Amino acid sequence: MPHDSMFKRLASEDRGTVLVEIDGAAFHARTGETVAAAVLAAGMIPSRSTPLSGSPRAPYCMMGACFECLVEIDGVPNVQGCMTLVAQGMKILPQLGARAVPTAEQESYS
């Protein structure tokens, strides 16, 4: 994963950081920012690939409408990064293609 990003954060008051892992690399994300913003700042582009063609994608609308920001977080695939806040120790990976669909035996309802 590249560590240099063309996306630069705006200057703001210091709200602290949380340490997350983005595609295997440690990254200090700002407290209160979304996973998609952290992914862009860290340079994880593409952040997903399409199921059919494998085309690379990255966060786009940043408001939950386009689903281009899908990532895997802590082993859970298809999470909308723009709608999820970073948390200490979070492990973020690119969403590669389609996720596996669990069978009825694998599903558990709590």
Pick the CATH number of 17-96 from 3.10.20.740, 2.20.25.90, 3.30.70.100, 2.40.128.690: 3.10.20.740
pTM of the entire predicted model: 0.81
Phi, psi of 74, deg, nearest 5: 50, 40
26-85 tens-digit pLDDT: 999 999 999 999 999 999 889 999 888 889 999 999 999 999 999 999 999 999 999 999
In the chain, where the domains are located = 17-96
pLDDT at 100: 66
Task: pLDDT band for 7, please (50, 70, 90 cuts).
Answer: confident
Distance of CA 64 to the CA centre of its chain: 13
Q: What is the largest CA-CA distance in the chain?
A: 49
